[in-house]
Structure 1
Amino acid sequence: EEYLQATRTLRAIFADSSRFVVHDALPPVPAFGDEGAANHTRFAAAHGAAGVEFFVYGRAEFDPSAPSPKKYPARQTMEASQAVARLHGLDPARTVFASQNPDVIDQGVFHNDVIAVGNGNVLFYHDQAFADEAGTLDALRRALGTVDTDLVPVRVASSQVPVADAVASYLFNSQLLTRPDGRMALVVPHECRENAAVSRYLAALVASGGPIDELLEFDLRQSMRNGGGPACLRLRVALTDGEAQAMHGGVIMNDTLHGLLAAWVEKHYRDRVEPKDLADPQLAIECATALEELERILGLPGLYDLS
């Protein structure tokens, strides 16, 4: 199971139990469908400051009257989001739960990060993102008021960018980053430029005088073809200097590590895998050999169970 390896990996990286706790995954049952950072945003004046945790869910397992999609399954449950908040000991006054609009789930918005993205105190979102747009914004404003921070919503209307164009271009599956000058840059895939409605909107956005005034565009076609945009690289962990020193530093990306990982991929990855290859014992040997070398590169012996 993927979540078991993810837990093992995170506990190896954040091994100092006096500073870090890596919780077990929620039970793998439908009531606790949880897809993590794709449906969670943290708002704050700065990454190290007190802030508000924002959880978006697609259905409530035990409330048949709650909004839910009709065509596609909702991957995140309210119960899972509430369980994560409870297990992490979050302050209810600084925690907001919101229902995703079931209509956009049925249009292909399988995660909230396909229709909204947050950074700092800015929420960049589509007007169809939430089942109750006004109620969601009011709840966020009230919660942020407890930490003396104002919410800055950047709303994209359906008349500017239809939901279908937002999904096709992955406009909201972007990285919203704060520059040293305090302004924000939006990291988007090439598909945003190639979509006429999205391209027009983004040109107007950066010229509008709002918090987002720079676009950074990348060719992510291989990732996009597998359903992954810029946001799929995001899992923010805010650390003090002491905590950063206490975690395992061998996983922090730099030019040296990038070179080692690129060479590892070139050495070990097959350029294609067909169904019949899954019956070839040599493939299993190749995988084990590659993972042993990856353990050495990262400085994490025993990271994988290769017995």
Structure 2
Amino acid sequence: MQQFEVNFDGLVGPTHNYAGLSVGNVASQSNANAVSNPKEAAKQGLAKMKALADMGMKQGVLAPQERPDVAALRRLGFTGSDGNVLKSAAKQAPQVFLACCSASSMWTANAATVSPGADTADGRIHFTPANLTNKFHRSLEPEVTGRILKATFANEKYFAHHTHLPDNEHFGDEGAANHTRLCRNYGSAGVELFVYGRYAFDSSKPAPSRYPARQTLEASQAVARLHGLDDDGVVYIQQNPDVIDQGVFHNDVIAVGNQNVLFFHEQAFLNTPAVLTEIRRKFDDHPLHFIEVPTSQVSVLDAVSTYLFNTQIITLSDNHMAIIAPSECEENPAVSSYLESLLAMDTPIKEVKFFNVKQSMRNGGGPACLRLRVAMTEQELNATNPRTLMNDILFARLNQWVEKHYRDRLSEQDLADPALLDESRTALDELTQIMHLGSIYPFQQSAL
């Protein structure tokens, strides 16, 4: 039976904006309050999805969340019509209002942690939405994320869905942005790497001092338990506190893995030699490629500004992998030079493909942020909602939908416009019909 890694990319929503909400995310903060282009952002994301599908990859689409989050604003005491809620929140609590308008759900690497059936005790694919407690604007996402995942992966014979972890900083969970998996092939048992920034219950352990460590060890351990993972198939790795303080807010900004390749910066982890030894042992002595990028060739600053590690490594054929990189990597002399030298090394990575995802990059996320990875068998893929899988028909339909509903210019002031909310809800309601998702949004459920 065939096995695949399917990338489910987040579709950029109709209210895509730059609010600079994410402390510790340098790109996000540096572009705060800039005018965004939702139409261009959505089409850039769709173009990347279609390009990967055309390469022979299996590619899926995850729906965006509704923003502004009127339901959250009502929970915070704003009342009246939806229009009055928006206007009073924008006037009385502008920072809270902007948080409830965040475009962050487009980065589906944070949507959930996924363990394939080859790793789990019951043989099903397990999904746990990330609680994202470190940032208020992201903590609004898990409930709707869970609905989207259940609508996409609905067959209980193959898929198991868990409630997100308790909404408390002790169990701060950032999803697949701090999780990767190494394996011989996608259908065989692998080694799941959980990278955490701090211990929640032991303040004597190393931790960053400038920026927050968003993922805790205890959260990672809880997800592994929920997914029924064997201890011999799990490695817990502490992220280097120094790189968190340099703007590496998630592990996928400093490391990425695919099958038997782990591509990482030399400053990525604490106790790197011990970490690599444990991975080798648990990988059962099968061939592994550890590609460690030295600081002398690529600084942490260059890695963060170009998102060299927030790239996708995809397998195109046996022993032939490609890196899907943002165009910023090509434009940076040090990073471009390193990637050229990488292709001459004795590793499975044989080519680099550059993509323009600048609308996402300006808001703090590269190609890897945009996708949730799901290793699947052919049967599991056949059990997935077919209307969420990229093909020529869906690509054309979604581009038409974007052209019809999205603005090409959006400022911070526009977010309080009730007309924008109406436009967005009309678009999202139509999207759920296109993708056969049912009533996943609060505004749809309140109308039932």
Q: Normalising to structure 1: TM-score of the pair?
A: 0.95
Show the counterpart of 1:94: 233
What stretches of structure 1 move > 4 A for 4+ residues in a row?
none
**Alignment RMSD (CA, Å):** 1.4
Q: Which residue number in structure 2 is paired with residue 114 of structure 1?
A: 253
**In structure 1, what is the Cα distance between the partners aligned to 2:212 and 2:388?**
35
Deviation at 1:300, TM superposition (A): 2.1
Instruction: Give the 5 Å matches for 1:177-192.
Output: 177-192=314-329
Question: Is the Cα contact below 8 Å between 1:140 and 1:151 reproduced in 2?
Answer: no
Counterpart of 1:211 (choices 348, 355, 358) is: 348
Tell me the CA shift for residue 293 of structure 1.
0.5
Deviates more, 1:269-278 or 1:248-257: 269-278
**Partner Cα separation in structure 2 for residue 247 and residue 217 of structure 1:** 29
Deviations along 1:245-294, one digit per CA (max 9) or x if unpaired, are: 22211100111111111111121122333444444332222222111110
Matched, 1:57 2:206: no
Q: What is the rounded CA distance, in whole Å, between the counterparts of 1:189 and 1:243 in structure 2?
A: 30
Equivalent AA in structure 2 for residue 227 of structure 1: G
**Structure of greater relative contact order (alpha carbons < 8 Å, 6+ residues apart):** 2
Opposite residue 351 of structure 2, the aligned amino acid is: E
Among 172, 177, 183, the alignment partner of 1:38 is 177
Query: What is the CA–CA distance in structure 2 between the aligned matches of 1:94 and 1:209, rounded to whole Å?
Result: 27
Q: How does 1:137-286 map to 2 (within 5 A)?
A: 137-145=276-284, 149-286=286-423
Amino acid at match of 2:187: G
Which residue type is aligned with residue 33 of structure 1?
G
- Return the alpha-carbon distance in structure 2 between the equivalents of residues 28 and 34 of structure 1: 9
Q: CA deviation at 1:3?
A: 0.9
Q: Distance in 2 between matches of 1:60 and 1:142?
A: 24
Matched-pair contact (CA < 8 Å) for 2:297–2:334: yes
Residue segments in structure 2 that go unaligned for 5+ positions in a row: 1-139
Q: Distance in 2 between matches of 1:172 and 1:274?
A: 30
Q: Which runs of 5+ in 1 are unaligned?
A: none
Counterpart residue identity of residue 357, structure 2:
L
Moved more, 200-209 or 97-106: 200-209
Q: What CA distance in whole angstroms lies between the structure 2 residues aligned with 1:274 and 1:203?
A: 39
Percentage of matched positions with identical amino acids:
56
Q: Deviations over 1:102-154 (max 9, x none)?
A: 00000110110111110001101111000111111011111111xx5232101
Q: Which amino acid aligns with 1:101?
A: N
